[in-house]
Amino acid sequence: MRRTIGQLAGIQVDPSRPAVALDGVTETFRLFHERPGGLKERLYRLRRASYTDFNAVEDVTFTIDHGESVAVIGHNGSGKSTLLKLLARILPPDEGTVYTNGRVASLLELGAGFHGDLTGRENIYLNGAILGLNRAEIDERFDEIVDFAGIRPLLDTAVRTYSSGLYVRLGFAIAVTVDPDILLVDEVLAVGDAEFQDRSLARMQTYRDEGKTFVLVSHDLDAVRETCDRTLVMEHGRIVFDGPVAEGVELYRQRVASAAAPPGPRRRDARRVRVDDVALLGPDGQAADEIAPSTSLTARVRLRAIAEVDVCSVGLIVTRGDGTHLYELHTTWQGVGVGPLVVDQEAVVDMRFVAHLLAGHYAITVSVTDVSGRETWAVVPDAVRFSVAPAPGGAGLVDLAGSTAVSEGPARRLNDATQTAPIPIARLQRRRRLQ
Amino acid sequence: MTLDHSFDESAARRLARSASGKLVELWRARELLLQLVRKELKVRYKNSALGFLWSMITPVLMTIVFSVVFTVVVPIRINHFPAFFVAGYLLWQFFQNSCRGGTDSIVGNGDLVKKVYFPREVLPLSHVFSQLVHLLLALLVISPFLIYYRGFGVLVHLPATLLAIVLLAVFTSGAAMWFAGVNVVFRDLQELFIVIFQVWFYATPVLYPLALVQASPELERRSLEWIATALLFNPMTWFVEIFREPLYGPVLRRGTDDVISLAPSWPSIGAIGIAAAWALVTFVLGYWVFLRRARTFAKEV
């Protein structure tokens, strides 16, 4: 029987309090304009080097209950990793309080503290001790670690001679046997081959199933969706969203899409033609924002000439929340040009299409170009957004309007299609990989 | 009233918890300390008995060189100079190597400090403990040599030798933590280190007995007697003295300008007291500076 470290070290989980509680936490980094010098420089300089304070994490407050699995997502530099270091006590907060309840272990870097001249066996003991295990606990876990990493033949070889993959595997094997109450993981799953990633994901799943509290920082949104129940979306050191995984991931996708707005000429201010308004209308002529799959839509673009325009083309691009290009259409492609327009003349262009799309969030970008498409005169990124509601009948991205029939053998009519809908195969496959 | 009372209680409890928490944490880190010491020794000795002998080359060579210089070239009136020198030199090596290892211990392990939480003081302390193991092994190796020259008094007074080592280890721990903490902010401390310790070595009575300085007519003639007094303010003077007295024997001033070497004996309570005071003050100050600095190590390394 394995005892948890908490019991050995006298750290007990207090079930009446949350697993993690942050209250008004701010972490400030001091960015020196020049590299801070040493003693010598301090002596002849007298004044201190100039610097700017930068809050990597700003006024963050949240609590995590026991058994919750939380993903922290956000752009690079949004403060995710700093947040994790605060939870791991590597950084003490400059303001506010960080409370953790129970034994915390962090997988921030695998194999940190390995010494190349020591053998695999010696490094297991050293690294285990760094992660807070005592000798008896490492003895207990030794075989498990060796088998998980698959290094038995190399056990008494200096780790200097290990391949980098082996190195990481050994680091991971040690780290996951620590068996904490709260586990912090930072991107480490991004290293290693596919098989290793699957195994580590499976391990995370086990943690979740065992009711351990679990905080993950990752850019792999699929992994986030598979392993976590809750997301914190961070932006500029603040938490901008705290809630269910699906919503958080979608919000993050949209933010990524808008942050990665089209570069170059598209960003320029309108020349010659200005787009005044873009509306998305359903088949009934009313504004559409949430539609059923395969609804006919009309994008109504109202534009106004700033200069005299002989002829121009209006285009639209339908994108998914994460910026994936789905469909593009220009009036010129259908032999239609808009113009001639005199200054201040208005034109309204209706672009009809059928949204053969399945559940998800989408956006439409509108542009006005010359007929050759070489010069862009106006662009409105994500001018309108719409979402497609989940509906029975198919799963995936594109509504291929499939139908089924049993051409031989008996068949039965089922009444409620949603009740009998199976889990999409794509998800099943991912789950199978995890097991 | 109730509010005030509960606030006081929780504040007191918080203080108690943070102090006891620190102790529990250090106690829990003993395994890590042990593993780090093992690592240091293994890497240093390369897993072989010969590795240990290799590491004895420096003190042996230094002993030979200085013995030639101070018994043949510029003779000083010390019986069995090699025995006199090697005892003090091993002690000095322990101090200097611990501090050098400690200085680089945080900066050199930057990856670890930035990625994993553990009580940071185990890094400098691991250097002190591995050097301590080395010192004890080295003493074991040279003990027949000392007994041959200085008699069995060396063994009789062993408890005093060990006490001196314990006091020096406490002193060195404080110094190593101070160097480790300060080096994170002032990186050129590492370069200054060599100069500082070179000067410190000659300002410590390792090469020469303290009594010889006190009995020097030359210093008196040039009214430089303050040098002998200044040496008393060097903490290492006291550690070397209380260590060498039970191992080599006291060297005393005889008349105005002569010294005499006696057989090993117990060091005076006064000298032990001064050394103990230095050890305690340095440890507390060094640890305090280190802990204050340790808060921002992860940002600065």
Query: Which tens digit of pLDDT belongs to each residue from B58-70?
Result: 889 999 999 999 8
- Measured between alpha carbons, how far is A325 from A318 in angstroms, rounded to an integer? 6
pLDDT digits (tens, 9 = 90+) for A319-338: 886 667 888 888 988 888 88
The answer to whether A106 contacts B117, with C-beta atoms less than 8 Å apart, is yes
- Does residue A61 fall inside a structural domain? yes
Which domain-ending residue is among A232, A258, A284?
A258
The answer to whether A129 contacts B189, with C-beta atoms less than 8 Å apart, is no
pLDDT computed for residue A232 by the predictor: 92
Q: Which of A355, A358, A239 is nearest to A294 (CA)?
A: A355
- Does residue A91 fall inside a structural domain? yes
Q: Which residues of A touch B114 (CB under 8 A)?
A: 90
Number of Cα atoms under 13 Å in the Cβ half of residue A13:
19
Distance from CA of A121 to the nearest CA of B (A): 12
Count Cβ atoms below 10 Å from residue A387 Cβ, excluding itself: 17
Q: How is residue A402 written in tokens?
A: 């499939």
Query: CATH number for the domain including A360?
Result: 2.70.50.60
Residue pair B128/B37 in contact by the 8 Å Cβ criterion:
no
Task: Report the pLDDT averaged over residues A309-326.
Answer: 83
Q: How is residue A126 written in tokens?
A: 């050293």
Q: Which amino acid is at B214?
A: Q
Instruction: Name the residue with higher pLDDT: A31 or B84.
Output: B84
Average pLDDT value over all residues in chain A: 79
Task: Report the pLDDT averaged over residues A200-221.
Answer: 80
pLDDT at B5 over 90: no
pLDDT computed for residue A210 by the predictor: 82
DSSP B68-136: HIIIIIS--S-TTHHHHHHHHHHHHHHHHHHHHHHHHHHHHTHHHHHH--S-TTHHHHHHHHHHHHHHH
Q: Tell me the Cα Rg of chain A.
A: 28
Q: Which amino acid is at A243?
A: G
Residue pair B238/B268 in contact by the 8 Å Cβ criterion:
no
Residue pair A394/A413 in contact by the 8 Å Cβ criterion:
no
Of the ranges A14-18, A184-188, A414-418, B135-139, which one carries the lowest mean pLDDT score? A414-418
Q: Are residues A383 and A333 in the same domain?
A: yes
The residues pairing with B231 across neighbouring beta strands, listed in sequence order, are: none
Q: Tell me the Cα Rg of chain B.
A: 22
Among partner residues A10, A85, A125, which is closest to B298 by beta-carbon distance? Answer: A85
| Predicted confidence band of residue B270 (pLDDT cuts 50, 70, 90) | very high
Q: How is residue B111 written in tokens?
A: 């990856």
Measured between its terminal Cα atoms, the distance across chain A in Å is 24
- Does residue A419 fall inside a structural domain? no
Q: Are residues A124 and A223 in the same domain?
A: no
Q: Which residues of B touch A132 (CB under 8 A)?
A: 28, 32, 118
- Does residue A401 fall inside a structural domain? no
Of the ranges A28-42, A179-193, A304-318, B43-57, which one carries the lowest mean pLDDT score? A28-42
Of the ranges A132-136, A175-179, A260-264, which one carries the lowest mean pLDDT score? A260-264
The answer to whether B187 contacts A89, with C-beta atoms less than 8 Å apart, is no
Q: Percent of chain B, pLDDT > 90? A: 41
Q: Are residues A159 and A279 in the same domain?
A: no
CA angle A152, A155, A160 (to 5 degrees): 125
pLDDT computed for residue B202 by the predictor: 93
Instruction: Name the residue with higher pLDDT: A346 or A358.
Output: A346
Q: Are residues A89 and A220 in the same domain?
A: yes
pLDDT at A15 over 60: yes
Q: Are residues A196 and A95 in the same domain?
A: yes
pLDDT computed for residue B4 by the predictor: 40
The answer to whether A122 contacts B28, with C-beta atoms less than 8 Å apart, is no
CA distances for A274 relative to A234, A258, A271, A370, angstroms: 35, 20, 7, 13
- Measured between alpha carbons, how far is A197 from A201 in angstroms, rounded to an integer? 6
Q: Specify the DSSP element, H or E, that contains A170.
A: helix A164-176
| Predicted confidence band of residue A185 (pLDDT cuts 50, 70, 90) | confident
Q: Tell me how far the alpha carbon of residue A132 is from its chain's centroid.
A: 30
Residue B240 CB-density burial (10 A; 0-12 exposed, 13-18 middle, 19+ buried)? buried
Cβ of residue A409 closer than 8 Å to a chain B Cβ? no
- Measured between alpha carbons, how far is A35 from A50 in angstroms, rounded to an integer? 10
Task: Report the pLDDT averaged over residues A187-193.
Answer: 61
The answer to whether A113 contacts B295, with C-beta atoms less than 8 Å apart, is no
Q: Which residues of A touch B115 (CB under 8 A)?
A: 90, 106, 108-109, 112
The residues pairing with A288 across neighbouring beta strands, listed in sequence order, are: none
Q: Which residues of A touch B301 (CB under 8 A)?
A: none
- Measured between alpha carbons, how far is B288 from A427 in angstroms, rounded to an integer? 55
Task: Report the pLDDT averaged over residues A233-255.
Answer: 86
CA distances for B206 relative to A77, B86, B177, B180, B277, angstroms: 55, 9, 24, 25, 21
Total domain count, chain A: 3
Q: Are residues A66 and A15 in the same domain?
A: yes
Q: Is the peptide bond before A340 cis (omega within 30 degrees of 0)?
A: yes
- Does residue A421 fall inside a structural domain? no
pLDDT computed for residue B100 by the predictor: 93
- Does residue A414 fall inside a structural domain? no
> A166 lies in which domain range?
117-171
Q: Which residues of A touch B188 (CB under 8 A)?
A: 37-40
Cβ of residue B143 closer than 8 Å to a chain A Cβ? no
pLDDT at A5 over 70: no
| Predicted confidence band of residue A129 (pLDDT cuts 50, 70, 90) | confident
- Measured between alpha carbons, how far is A245 from A229 in angstroms, rounded to an integer? 6
Among partner residues A91, A117, A132, which is closest to B298 by beta-carbon distance? Answer: A91
Q: Which of A93, A16, A59 is nearest to A240 (CA)?
A: A59
Count Cβ atoms below 10 Å from residue A8 Cβ, excluding itself: 15
- Does residue A394 fall inside a structural domain? no
Q: Specify the DSSP element, H or E, that contains A204.
A: helix A194-209
Phi and psi angles of residue B222, each rounded to the nearest 5 degrees, phi first = -95, 15
Which domain-ending residue is among A258, A278, A304?
A258
Under 8 Å CB-to-CB from B67, ≥6 apart: which residues?
B81, B82, B85
Q: What is the largest CA-CA distance in chain B?
A: 82
Residue pair B164/B158 in contact by the 8 Å Cβ criterion:
no
Q: Are residues A252 and A269 in the same domain?
A: no
pLDDT at B126 over 60: yes
Instruction: Name the residue with higher pLDDT: A7 or B184.
Output: B184
Count Cβ atoms below 10 Å from residue B2 Cβ, excluding itself: 6
Residue B260 CB-density burial (10 A; 0-12 exposed, 13-18 middle, 19+ buried)? middle
Q: Percent of chain B, pLDDT > 70? A: 92
Instruction: Name the residue with higher pLDDT: B237 or A290.
Output: B237
Q: Are residues A204 and A325 in the same domain?
A: no
- Measured between alpha carbons, how far is A220 from A197 in angstroms, rounded to an integer? 11
pLDDT at B284 over 50: yes
- Measured between alpha carbons, how far is A198 from A404 in angstroms, rounded to an integer? 34
pLDDT digits (tens, 9 = 90+) for B42-100: 888 876 777 788 888 888 999 999 999 988 888 888 888 899 999 899 999 999 999 99
| Predicted confidence band of residue B249 (pLDDT cuts 50, 70, 90) | confident
Cβ of residue B43 closer than 8 Å to a chain A Cβ? yes
Which domain-ending residue is among A346, A361, A388?
A388
Scanning every residue of chain B, which has its alpha carbon at the shortest distance from the alpha carbon of A92?
B295
Q: Are residues A361 and A289 in the same domain?
A: yes
Q: Are residues A11 and A137 in the same domain?
A: no
- Does residue A13 fall inside a structural domain? yes
- Measured between alpha carbons, how far is B113 from A184 in angstroms, rounded to an integer? 16
pLDDT at B203 over 70: yes
pLDDT computed for residue B243 by the predictor: 94
Q: Are residues A80 and A200 in the same domain?
A: yes
Q: Are residues A275 and A216 in the same domain?
A: no
Under 8 Å CB-to-CB from B137, ≥6 apart: which residues?
B52
Residue pair B105/B297 in contact by the 8 Å Cβ criterion:
no
Count Cβ atoms below 10 Å from residue A149 Cβ, excluding itself: 22
Q: Which residues of A touch B42 (CB under 8 A)?
A: 117-118, 122
Residues B136-158, buried b or exposed e (16+ Cβ, 10 A)? eebbeebeeebeebbeebbeebe
pLDDT computed for residue A2 by the predictor: 41
Of the ranges A105-109, A401-405, A431-435, B131-135, which one carries the lowest mean pLDDT score? A431-435
pLDDT at A277 over 70: yes
Cβ of residue A392 closer than 8 Å to a chain B Cβ? no
pLDDT computed for residue B15 by the predictor: 63
| Predicted confidence band of residue B127 (pLDDT cuts 50, 70, 90) | very high
pLDDT at A350 over 60: yes
pLDDT at B160 over 90: yes
Average pLDDT value over all residues in chain B: 86
Residue B23 CB-density burial (10 A; 0-12 exposed, 13-18 middle, 19+ buried)? exposed
Residue B296 CB-density burial (10 A; 0-12 exposed, 13-18 middle, 19+ buried)? middle
Query: CATH number for the domain including A24?
Result: 3.40.50.300
Strands (DSSP E) found in A65-127: 69-74, 95-100, 104-107
Which residue in the block uniquely carries the two structure tokens 């020591």? A118
Instruction: Name the residue with higher pLDDT: B185 or B5.
Output: B185
- Measured between alpha carbons, how far is A146 from A324 in angstroms, rounded to an integer? 43
Count Cβ atoms below 10 Å from residue B285 Cβ, excluding itself: 14
CA distances for B200 relative to B155, B172, B205, B286, angstroms: 30, 14, 10, 18
Cβ of residue B229 closer than 8 Å to a chain A Cβ? no
Residue B259 CB-density burial (10 A; 0-12 exposed, 13-18 middle, 19+ buried)? buried
CA angle B228, B233, B234 (to 5 degrees): 95
Q: How is residue A406 written in tokens?
A: 């049993």
Task: Report the pLDDT averaged over residues A140-149.
Answer: 88
Collect contacts of A139-148 with beta carbons under 8 A, ≥24 apart: A140/A2, A141/A2, A141/A177, A144/A173, A144/A177, A145/A170, A145/A173, A145/A174, A145/A177, A146/A173, A148/A172, A148/A173, A148/A176, A148/A177
| Predicted confidence band of residue B195 (pLDDT cuts 50, 70, 90) | very high
Q: Which residues of B touch A40 (CB under 8 A)?
A: 188
Residue pair A195/A149 in contact by the 8 Å Cβ criterion:
no
Distance from CA of A108 to the nearest CA of B (A): 6
Residue pair A387/A360 in contact by the 8 Å Cβ criterion:
yes
Of the ranges B114-118, B206-210, B270-274, which one carries the lowest mean pLDDT score? B114-118
pLDDT at A264 over 80: no
Cβ of residue A90 closer than 8 Å to a chain B Cβ? yes
Scanning every residue of chain A, which has its alpha carbon at the shortest distance from the alpha carbon of B109?
A113
Count Cβ atoms below 10 Å from residue A334 Cβ, excluding itself: 9
The residues pairing with A31 across neighbouring beta strands, listed in sequence order, are: A52
pLDDT computed for residue B11 by the predictor: 64
